[in-house]
Amino acid sequence: MAKPKLKAHVIDREWCKGCGICVHFCPKDVLELDEEDKVIAARREDCICCKMCELRCPDLAIEIETE
């Protein structure tokens, strides 16, 4: 299977509660909480599209779109 190619981190800022689970468990340290305690993809080029953030988000607030 070909390596998935990242299209975008789709983040719903209304739904994100800033719990930090995705930030903590990201294996490549891609995600961060911003000054409003909402998740942002600070280092998107390091993303390997493992989708662990998407699967563990309690708020269904982050989705990894791949090509």
Partner 1 sequence: MAIKGYIRERFFPHIWCPGCGHGIVLNSLLRAIEKLGMSKNEIVVVSGIGCSSRISGYVDFHTLHTIHGRALAFATGVKMSRPELNLIVPMGDGDALAIGGNHFIHSARRNIDMTAIVMNNRIYGMTGGQYSPLSGYGTLATTAPYTNIDYAFDTVELAKAAGASFVARSTTYHVQQLTKILKQAILHEGFSVVEVLSQCPTYFGRKNRKGTAADMMEFYKDNTTPVGSKAKKENPDLIERGVFVEKEMLEYCREYEKIIERAMKGRS
Residues in touch with partner 1 (CB under 8 A) = 10, 14-15, 17-21, 23-25, 52, 55-61, 63
Q: How far is the CB of 60 from partner 1 (least distance, A)?
A: 6
Shortest reach from residue 21's CB to partner 1, in Å: 5
The answer for 53, left when phi > 0, alpha when psi is -120 to 50, beta otherwise, is alpha
10 Å Cβ neighbour count for 7? Answer: 11
User: Beta-strand (E) ranges in the chain?
Assistant: 6-11, 31-33, 39-41, 62-66
* Rounded least distance, CB 31 to partner 1, Å: 12
Q: Which is nearer to partner 1, 33 or 46 (CB)?
A: 33
